Amino acid sequence: MPFKRVFKYQLLGLLLTLAACSNPEHEQAIARVGDSYLYPSDIAEALPKSTDAQDSALLADEFINKWIKKELIIQKANENLSDSQKDVSRELEEYRNSLIIYRYKNELLKQRLDTVVSASQIEQFYTDNATTFKLDRCIVKAVFVKLPNDIGDPEHLKQLVADDSEEGQNELYDYCMQYAKSFEIALDKWIDFQVLNRNLPLSIEDPETFLTRNRMKEMNDSNYYYLVRIHDYVLTNELAPLEFVENNIKNLILNQRKVEFLKALENNIFTEGERQKKFKIYNRKTNE
């Protein structure tokens, strides 16, 4: 690295170190564009605290270049836009108002929104909106195991996979942890069939036909033995099981409550303002 560049980075690193413990009022500017100045403390605040001296100097150099480019563009815009085009007071006021309203509503939601959703409410929503929960893909409860050919014992694995008892599942899990390259034991939860399909040596192009015709499927390639056992399935366009969509339903119910709460809030504030005569709508014809 050329001496000048090394010296520049050493100088930047020194300036940044000094900025961390100096009084900003007595800082020496690092760069200037027009009437705008960049100080070491400005850079120090923007850089990660744990960065070493040389990396800090490199990042500082990049920060300075970006700052100069931004200030030059601002300067050019100020030179070429009319006063009316540069007047952003209305936009700033609208943004400020939107931000205040957003924060106020969020605070009320945190304080007052009922976030408890019971099992009966979830079930009722599921029943009332059943057509909404048609599946766009196949889902399964299944076991998938990928074993290295040189250490795997397919016959023993098939015996373990066929045992649905809790003890049998624990034994299967222990076996997979010891020997499997990868595995998925999903007997108490629904998963997307594609999760299994992506791990097979040959992709199953017609999941519906495969699932209706197979309970157990074995595959091999040069290095691995694959075993899939389907315990249950639901096909595309069929109604999703409640347990598969209950979290989505809970979120839908909460979002519905949120919309209703905010709508009621706006109406209540309007009614209160009307009762307390906080606003007046003037007659456009008489200006009264």
CATH number (domain holding residue 156): 3.10.50
Asked if residue 146 and residue 226 are part of one domain, the reply reads yes
Asked if residue 126 and residue 47 are part of one domain, the reply reads no
User: Is the predicted pLDDT of residue 153 greater than 90, yes or no?
Assistant: no
Any domain includes 90: no
Range with lowest mean pLDDT among 19-28, 86-95, 155-164, 199-208: 19-28
Question: pLDDT at position 256, please?
Answer: 96
Any domain includes 215: yes
Spell out the residues 6+ positions from residue 223 whose beta carbon is closer than 8 angstroms to its own: 148, 149
- Provide the pLDDT confidence category of residue 1 given band limits of 50, 70 and 90: very low
Question: pLDDT at position 7, please?
Answer: 42
Question: pLDDT at position 13, please?
Answer: 54
Asked if residue 144 and residue 118 are part of one domain, the reply reads no
Any domain includes 151: yes
Asked if residue 246 and residue 202 are part of one domain, the reply reads no
Global confidence as pTM: 0.72
Range with lowest mean pLDDT among 53-67, 84-98, 195-209, 269-283: 53-67
- The pair of structure tokens assigned to 72 is 């030059």
Mean pLDDT of all residues belonging to the chain? 88
Please check whether residue 226 is in contact with residue 200, taking contact to mean a CB–CB distance below 8 angstroms: yes
Asked if residue 256 and residue 120 are part of one domain, the reply reads yes
Q: Return the higher-pLDDT residue of 264 and 152.
A: 264
- Provide the pLDDT confidence category of residue 49 given band limits of 50, 70 and 90: confident
Query: How far apart (Å, rounded) are the C-alpha atoms in residues 14 and 217?
Result: 66
Q: Tally the domains of the chain.
A: 3
Spell out the residues 6+ positions from residue 145 whose beta carbon is closer than 8 angstroms to its own: 157, 161, 176, 180, 183, 226, 227
Asked if residue 213 and residue 127 are part of one domain, the reply reads no
Asked if residue 115 and residue 206 are part of one domain, the reply reads no
Q: Return the higher-pLDDT residue of 153 and 265.
A: 265
Domain that holds residue 271: 102-132+240-288
Asked if residue 113 and residue 139 are part of one domain, the reply reads no
Mean pLDDT value of segment 110-126 = 96
Q: Which amino acid is at 53?
A: A
Mean pLDDT value of segment 172-189 = 93
**Tens-place pLDDT, residues 200-223:** 999 999 999 999 999 999 999 999
Asked if residue 55 and residue 29 are part of one domain, the reply reads yes
**Tens-place pLDDT, residues 29-44:** 889 999 999 988 888 8
User: Is the predicted pLDDT of residue 2 greater than 60, yes or no?
Assistant: no
Asked if residue 161 and residue 19 are part of one domain, the reply reads no
Asked if residue 111 and residue 152 are part of one domain, the reply reads no
**Tens-place pLDDT, residues 138-152:** 999 999 999 999 887
Question: pLDDT at position 152, please?
Answer: 78
User: Is the predicted pLDDT of residue 3 greater than 50, yes or no?
Assistant: no
User: Is the predicted pLDDT of residue 5 greater than 70, yes or no?
Assistant: no
Question: pLDDT at position 253, please?
Answer: 97
Asked if residue 177 and residue 140 are part of one domain, the reply reads yes
Query: How far apart (Å, rounded) are the C-alpha atoms in residues 149 and 146?
Result: 9
Question: pLDDT at position 282, please?
Answer: 86
What percent of the chain stands above pLDDT 70? Answer: 88
Query: How far apart (Å, rounded) are the C-alpha atoms in residues 69 and 87?
Result: 22
Any domain includes 247: yes
